[in-house]
Amino acid sequence: MDKALRCLGAGCPSVVIGVATRHIHNHVGRLSLEDVENAIKLTMELVRR
């Protein structure tokens, strides 16, 4: 059985990584590319562990 399916019964550790964004529901949203790059770095470190 897939590990993800086995975790459902007892719960699995999880994390949400969000990037602050302004005007997301308009035609042009704004965000910091530095924030995106740092979120990617953080995600990569979490996956490595």
Please report the DSSP string for 29-41 in residue order: -EE-HHHHHHHHH
The bridge status of strand 21-22 relative to strand 30-31 is antiparallel
Q: Is the pTM higher than 0.85?
A: no
Q: How far is CA 40 from the centre of its chain?
A: 8
d(CA 13, CA 3): 13
2-15-26 Cα angle (round to 5): 115
Structure tokens at 43: 């995600």
Domain borders along the chain are 15-48
Residue 5 pLDDT exceeds 70: no
Residue 13 pLDDT exceeds 90: no
pLDDT in tens, 34-49: 999 999 999 999 888 7
Residue 32 pLDDT exceeds 60: yes
